[in-house]
A and B are shown apart, each in its own frame.
Chain A
Amino acid sequence: GDSVTQMEGPVTLSEEAFLTINCTYTATGYPSLFWYVQYPGEGLQLLLKATKADDKGSNKGFEATYRKETTSFHLEKGSVQVSDSAVYFCALSLASGSRLTFGEGTQLTVNP
């Protein structure tokens, strides 16, 4: 079945450090890929998305590129802030309006 695998956490960085959170997927078709962020005590917020191979999603300084050849969608940010501390989820969807399949999540803590 379809699945998403994220790098094991938690991840702890100092402010202004470079962030990479790895995400790979297995899917029977051509999925759309997403990164969601969850702040403490809150629901999920869409951070960025990419709907086809080689697309780059970007938002708030975060970027991820849809790599079909490596079935990956790694999240990157050049300079993290304390306010980026949250849990990050990689997810896929196989068709418009269909279910999301999530990874296990990666806890990011950014220290001043």
Chain B
Amino acid sequence: ETGVTQSPTHLIKTRGQQVTLRCSSQSGHNTVSWYQQALGQGPQFIFQYYREEENGRGNFPPRFSGLQFPNYSSELNVNALELDDSALYLCASSLRQPYGYTFGSGTRLTVV
């Protein structure tokens, strides 16, 4: 098993900019989910992709968008960054069956 790989591990952006975060799913996993974890908080569900289609979305504005590619890797895009977007962004992949979520180590985004 290769696990879930996220890149970059850290980055700093300026308010108003755009950012793209990347995730390589665990081998064989066809579902990917993204979570935002603010400092000292539990992760909050952003959205999920299954076979390249969005398959569920949390309470996040449209400036949070994503893609899943045929190899099941994924991107999270955030436009018009705000200071409150500073957080750890976690990617989790799974098979479409109970309950094998595998999390990556996350991307720490700081918006200044």
Does B66 count as interface, using CB distance less than 8 angstroms?
Answer: no
Find A101's partner among B45, B95, B97, B106 (CB 8 Å cutoff).
B45
Instruction: Decide: B96 and A43 in contact? CB cutoff 8 A.
Output: no
Q: Are A97 and B94 in contact (CB under 8 A)?
A: yes
Q: How extensive is the interface on chain B, given as a class?
A: 20 to 34
Chain B residue contacts of A69, Cβ below 8 A: none
How many A residues touch B, CB cutoff 8 Å? 25
Number of A-B contacts (CB under 8 A): 63
A93 touches B45 (CB 8 A): no
Q: Check: A102 CB closer than 8 A to any chain B CB.
A: yes
Question: Is there contact, CB below 8 Å, between A104 and B48?
Answer: no
| B90 and A43 contacting across the interface, CB-CB below 8 Å | yes
At the interface, yes or no: A66 with Cβ under 8 Å from chain B?
no
Q: How far, in angstroms, from A91 to B58 measured CA to CA in the complex?
A: 15
Which of A13-21, A45-53, A76-84 is the interface stretch?
A45-53
Residue B61 lies at the interface, judged by CB distance under 8 Å to chain A: no
Contacts of B56 in A (CB 8 A): 98-99
In the assembled complex, the Cα of A34 lies from the Cα of B45 at a distance in Å of 15
Contact of A97 among B42, B43, B50, B106 (CB under 8 A): B50
Of the candidates A49, A91, A105, the one whose C-beta lies within 8 Å of that of B41 is A105
Report the minimum CB–CB distance from A107 to chain B (whole Å). 9
Cβ of B33 under 8 Å from chain A? yes
Q: Which residue of B lies closest to A32 (CB)?
A: B99
Residue A25 interfacial (CB < 8 Å):
no
A41 to B61, CA, bound (A): 27
Interface centre among A93, A98, A104 (most CB of B within 10 A): A98
B98 touches A32 (CB 8 A): yes
Q: Does A27 interact with chain B (Cβ within 8 Å)? A: no
Given known contacts A44-B90, A89-B42, A89-B43, A100 and B101 CB-to-CB distance under 8 angstroms: yes
Partner of B33, one of A41, A42, A99: A99
Told that A41-B105, A97-B98, A99-B33 touch, could you supply 15 new A-B pairs with CB distance under 8 A?
A32-B99, A43-B103, A43-B104, A44-B92, A45-B103, A49-B99, A96-B97, A96-B99, A97-B50, A97-B95, A98-B48, A99-B45, A99-B48, A100-B43, A100-B92
